[in-house]
A = this chain, B = another copy of it.
Amino acid sequence: MLKKTQTSLEVRYAETDQMQIVHHSNYAIYFEQARVDWLRKQGMHYDKLENEGIMLPLIHLEVNYKKPAVFGDQLQVKTFLTEIPNVKISFDYQIYNQRNELLTSGKTIHAFVSSETRRPMRCPQSILELLSD
């Protein structure tokens, strides 16, 4: 339960801005890549979820910027759950650089939504089981 994964990302040139640091909007994309990786490592792939009629739209995003990342940085994104999902699932993230400095922390909250009815649903049992392995 509350499994933690680590995802590697290299900062791209296109992600920098004229302050010569990573533009802040990219961290939402880093979090997303880390979340896709977290799901995959639990045995779920976004595509598979969508095929099973489960959508995970984002309802809340929060980012705290402590130190900037720069072009070429080798980032590690640590991703973990802080509670057992119910009608929502919350991910926490911490991004470190190659010198193990904490650059950014954040959180995303997603609703479980049925792609058929477009209504909220509970976290499917199959996902809860994957988490409790």
Q: Which residues of A approach B to under 8 Å, CB–CB?
A: 10, 12-14, 16-21, 23-26, 28-29, 32-33, 36, 45-47, 55, 57-66, 68, 71-72
Contact = CB atoms under 8 A, between A and B. Distances in A.
Nearest to A68: B57
Contacts of A29: 12, 14, 25
A86 to B, nearest CB: 19
One complex includes copies of this chain to the number of 4
A31 B33 CA distance: 20
A114 to B, nearest CB: 14
A58 B19 CA distance: 12
Contact of A46 (B14, B62, B72): B72
User: By CB atoms of chain B within 10 A, which of A18, A45, A58 has the most?
Assistant: A18
Given A18-B71, A19-B55, A45-B72, A12 B32 contact: yes
A18 to B, nearest CB: 4
